Chain A
Amino acid sequence: MTVKLSRRTKAIAAVAGAASIALLASGCSPSSDSGSSDGPIELSVATFNDFGYTDELLQEYMDENPNVKVVQNKAATSNDARANYFQKLGKKGLADVEAIEVDWLPEVMKYSDLLAEVPAGTADRWLDWKVDAATDADGRLIGYGTDIGPEGVCYRSDLFAAAGLPTDREEVAALLEGDWNKYFEVGAQYTAATGKAWFDSAGSTYQGMINQVEAAYEDPDSGDITATENADVEDIYNAVLDASATQSAHLGQWSDDWFAGVGNGAYATMLCPGWMLGVISGNAEGVTGWDVANVFPSGGGNWGGSYLTVPANGAHVEEAQKLADWLTAPEQQIKAFVNAGTFPSQNDAYTDEALTGFVNEYFNNAPVGQIFTDRAKAVSVAPFKGEYYFQINDAMQKALTRVEDGTQDKQASWDQWVSEVEAIG
């Protein structure tokens, strides 16, 4: 029932006001009521997790624009931000600048008419595929790209040494160079030598593989669901589960066991987007073995990333656009990367010394700025994600987990996934 409550706050406030229960009316008003555009105005920026927008960074903008005061609201997780976003989109109450994640970008694109367009002439700032994903059928670009998630391979050099594999990150890159078969071959070699797991889970490895398929689940033209007939999907499903039988630590990503495994050496390698470095160093303090190799099976891959959007019915759309433009300019994005590891999606950033020269102490002083710049350039496929991508992929992750935890065999789990996908829509 709380659902309806928060959604209908305005109606409730009106009725409650009439019934002179003024208590209810408070706490429902949007936060961004401020003066006219001539006087000083307040702009709110809503983000989640950590975008790297520190107080110092926002202060810089306020110093340049003395009539603007910038306030940031941070949601704890992108799920919280997602729920908030769709409850208020098209109504009042969203921040002047709202961050969104690529995972729910397809849902946002359905309502692209409710968002302000990115002014013409800015689009060449970003990578092409970053722009394409946020451009709707009418050619309106509605998202200011912030970061992307180019993937490398993180590995435990101490475990590699114990298995008789090379430990230097250049040698590891050379060892893993090739396609997914190569990755699983080396994995078989590792498990044979040590009897331990090679990667963390089938689910996260599958994610790396499916992100290289151009149209995995839906037809980009018609939007029809094609997931169950797509041979690529079935091949990847089989390949990853065949490898998983012997090489996976069977730790569902983001589970408590998985976080424990990051620190206790339960597995030797993990697919690693730029933002994963912070996750690893934060959850495996004191572990010295983690390193990152400049390689990814079957070319490049991107996992995650975000945009800033400006709701079209905000109180200060123009000023908000200016702020979003400034925040996503290469210079600011590099500062955000240094602050929080969010890897830039801006072309100019990749030649900037501040990015390419950045080394990460925790990962054995790996030149992560240069490594992920190379990995970003290696991304060749921008996978199409339609309206139902999230649901289908979620069901697939569960199908993989069912096989990994022994609840079902490969075929039964696939069949159940097929029937679940058929119920979607």
Chain B
Amino acid sequence: MTSTATAPPSSTERPQQPGGAPAPRDPRRIAFGHRLSRWDLKLSPYLYISPFFILFIVVGLFPIAYTAVISFMDWDLVRNSGTFIGFDQYVYVLTQPKFWIALRNTFSIFLLSSIPQLVAAIFIAAMLDQNIRAKTFWRMGVLVPYVMAPVAVALIFSNMFGDKFGLVNSVLTDLGLPPVMWHSDAFASHIAIATMVNFRWTGYNTLILLAAMQAIPRDYYEAAAIDGASKFRQFFAITVPSLRPTLIFVIITSTIGGLQIFDEPRMYDQYGTGGADSQWLTITLYLYDIGWGQWNFGRAAALAWILFLIILAIGVINLLVTQKVVRDEGRRDAASGRQRRAAARAARRDLAARATDSTLETPEAAR
């Protein structure tokens, strides 16, 4: 059989190495440009976002860490030196009655400002969302108080809230009402300060909420109007639920701002130390007084860290509560997280069981 003749080894065939292993391939050369473009793909996103993080580390993280170090020391600002004394500063701050009064005042002013402010902001935003004349004028109008410097606002308002010759009290006495002691009654002073905060921040929150309201599809309202829903019904059934994610943002920012309130109480009287009986002493004001009044930076740093932890704790509570109360509709149902996860597991089991039972193999379902 001619067929038994072996074909001559083809020149194209690779020579066999002894041992039958394939010959090593020429190392594949990757162009530098290629490598660069691979790095580009992998690294440049990090590079592009790095300025923020470098800035944050330098002006955010470093001071926070440095404050923590100083808070364990008896620190001399001028000589830039200190001796380590452990938790003494924290103990000192926490045992001061003034600290607890400041905490009470801070929360009182925060609640007195944030709640009315957000309620007012939602309603003003709803009004501005209507089809009114000179829309831009009114919308910009609500932002005007925000443009004013807080110190200027505080100066004007503290003049109005004078105990003896202030505008508010003269009006009250003219109406035959007793004057309010704005600087000796703690609650009255909180109201006065909360008024300044509300004056400045209501417009700002209004504009954020207005922007969110404008993103609500108008079809909803049309449908509701055809169904015969009143304006109020539309507001509570469409507008408010649609605002939920924005509300969470606004509530959290105003919480942080509220707990750090400083300018207004500082400018409320001539000394800026929170009143004779600490009536309107807030935590930041107390912090300022320890640091810049008494030059005790160790204690001030300890207080700064306590405030940081308080804000962190309140922030977490806030987030949990707002997520509960103000749910993001459409994505989550009324069930709790645990129930939802359990339901999801049950659904997966169910689908998997059906997939193996049926002859129809659906990889999507089995996954």
User: Which residues of B lie under 8 Å from residue A7 when comparing CB positions?
Assistant: 77
In the bound complex, CA of A142 to CA of B141 (Å): 55
Q: A90-B80, A405-B276 are in contact. Are A1 and B63 (CB under 8 A)?
A: yes
Picked from A89, A394, A407, the residue with its CB within 8 Å of the CB of B273 is A394
Instruction: Evaluate whether A402 and B277 lie within 8 angstroms (CB atoms) in the complex, with A1-B60, A3-B291 already known.
Output: yes
Q: Give the B interface residue count (CB, 8 A).
A: 40
Q: Separation in Å of the A147 CB from the closest CB of chain B? A: 22
Contact of B183 among A3, A253, A391, A405 (CB under 8 A): A405
Tell me if B64 counts as interface (CB < 8 A to partner A): yes
Q: Could you give 18 example pairs across A and B, Cβ below 8 Å?
A: A7-B77, A8-B62, A8-B63, A15-B58, A21-B51, A21-B54, A21-B55, A83-B292, A86-B295, A89-B78, A252-B183, A253-B270, A254-B270, A255-B269, A255-B270, A398-B276, A405-B163, A405-B183
Contact with A along B255-296 (1 / 0, CB 8 A): 000000000000001110101110100000000000111110
> Restricting to A350-403, which residues have a CB under 8 Å from any CB of B?
390-391, 394, 397-402
The stretch that binds B, out of A126-134, A256-264, A312-320, is A256-264
The answer to whether A4 touches B270, judged by C-beta atoms less than 8 angstroms apart, is: no
CB pair A5 B63 closer than 8 Å: yes
Contact A16 B162 (CB under 8 A): no
Q: Is B322 an interface residue (CB 8 A)?
A: no
* Contact status B166-A257, CB under 8 Å: yes
B234 sits at the interface (CB 8 A): no
- A406 located at the interface, meaning its Cβ lies under 8 Å from any Cβ of chain B in the complex: yes
Cβ B184 vs Cβ A407 within 8 A: yes
Nearest A residue (CB) for B270: A254
Q: When the two chains form their complex, are residues B181 and A91 in contact, meaning their CB atoms are under 8 A apart?
A: no
Could you say which residues of chain A place their CB within 8 Å of the CB of B318? none
A251 within 8 A of B: yes
Chain A proximity mask over B17-49: 1 for CB below 8 Å, otherwise 0: 000000000000000000000000000000000
Q: Is A107 an interface residue (CB 8 A)?
A: yes
State which residues 58-102 of B face A: CB under 8 Å.
58-60, 62-64, 66-67, 77-80, 96
Say yes or no: is A87 at the interface (Cβ < 8 Å to chain B).
yes
Number of A residues near B (Cβ < 8 Å) is: 49
Residue numbers in A under 8 Å from B293 (CB-CB)? 390-391, 394
B199 to chain A: closest CB distance in Å? 18
B165 beta carbon closer than 8 Å to chain A: yes
Check A87–B77 contact: CB distance below 8 A: yes
B271 to A: closest C-beta gap in Å: 8
Give A391 to B80 CA distance when docked, in angstroms.
22
> Given the known A-B contacts A114-B78, A407-B184, are A398 and B277 also in contact in the complex, defined by CB atoms under 8 Å?
yes
B79 near A257 with CB under 8 A, answer no
B159 within 8 A of A: yes
Q: In the bound complex, do residue B165 and residue A264 qualify as a contact, i.e. CB atoms below 8 Å apart? A: yes
Across the interface, which residues of B come within 8 angstroms of A3, CB to CB? 63, 291, 300
Q: Does B341 contact A (CB under 8 A)?
A: no
Is B158 located at the chain interface by the 8 A CB criterion?
yes
- Chain B residues within an 8 Å CB radius of A137: none
- CB of B135 closer than 8 Å to a CB of A: no
Whether A165 is near chain B, meaning CB under 8 Å from some CB there, is: no
Inter-subunit contact A1/B64 (CB<8 Å): yes
Contact of B164 among A16, A107, A257 (CB under 8 A): A257
What string of 1s and 0s marks CB contacts (under 8 Å) between A65-94 and chain B?
000000000000000000100110111000
Residue of B nearest to A423 (CB): B96
Residues of A within 8 A of B273 (CB): 394, 398
Q: Is A19 interfacial (CB 8 A cutoff)?
A: yes
- State which of B60, B66, B165, B279 has its C-beta within 8 Å of the C-beta of A8: B66
Q: Tell me whether A407 and B78 are in contact in the complex, defined as CB-CB below 8 angstroms, given that A253-B270, A423-B96 are known contacts.
A: no
- Which residue on B lies nearest to A254, using beta carbons? B270
CA A120 to CA B271, docked complex, whole Å: 39
Which residues of B sit under 8 angstroms from A253, Cβ to Cβ? 270
- Asked if A260 contacts B165 (CB within 8 A), the reply is yes
Residue of A nearest to B77 (CB): A86
10 additional A-B pairs beyond A90-B79, A255-B269, A405-B183, beta carbons within 8 Å, are A1-B59, A3-B300, A7-B77, A12-B59, A12-B62, A107-B295, A252-B270, A254-B270, A256-B162, A402-B277
Interface contact A251-B96, CB-CB below 8 Å: no
Are A16 and B58 in touch, CB under 8 angstroms?
yes
Distance in Å from the Cβ of B24 to the closest Cβ of chain A?
A: 45
Kindly provide the distance from the CB of A409 to the nearest chain B CB, expressed in whole angstroms: 12
Instruction: State which residues 147-196 of B face A: CB under 8 Å.
Output: 158-159, 162-166, 181, 183-184
Interchain CA distance A184-B276 in the complex, whole Å:
25
Nearest CB of B to A130, in Å: 24
Question: Do A256 and B166 contact each other (CB < 8 Å), given the known contacts A12-B58, A90-B80, A398-B276?
Answer: yes
Residues of A within 8 A of B55 (CB): 21
CB distance from A37 to the nearest CB of B (A): 27
A86 and B300 alpha carbons, distance in the complex (Å): 16
Give the CA-CA distance A114 to B79 in the complex, in Å.
10
Q: Which residue of A lies closest to B60 (CB)?
A: A1
- Which residues of the other chain, B, contact A21 by a CB distance below 8 angstroms? 51, 54-55, 58
CB distance from A163 to the nearest CB of B (A): 21
- For residue B105, give the distance in angstroms from its CB to the closest CB of chain A: 15
Residue of B nearest to A104 (CB): B295
Which partner residue on chain A sits nearest B95 by CB separation?
Answer: A423
Q: Using Cβ atoms and an 8 Å threshold, which residues of chain A touch B78?
A: 86, 89-90, 110-111, 114
Kindly provide the distance from the CB of A406 to the nearest chain B CB, expressed in whole angstroms: 6
Contact with A along B206-249 (1 / 0, CB 8 A): 00000000000000000000000000000000000000000000
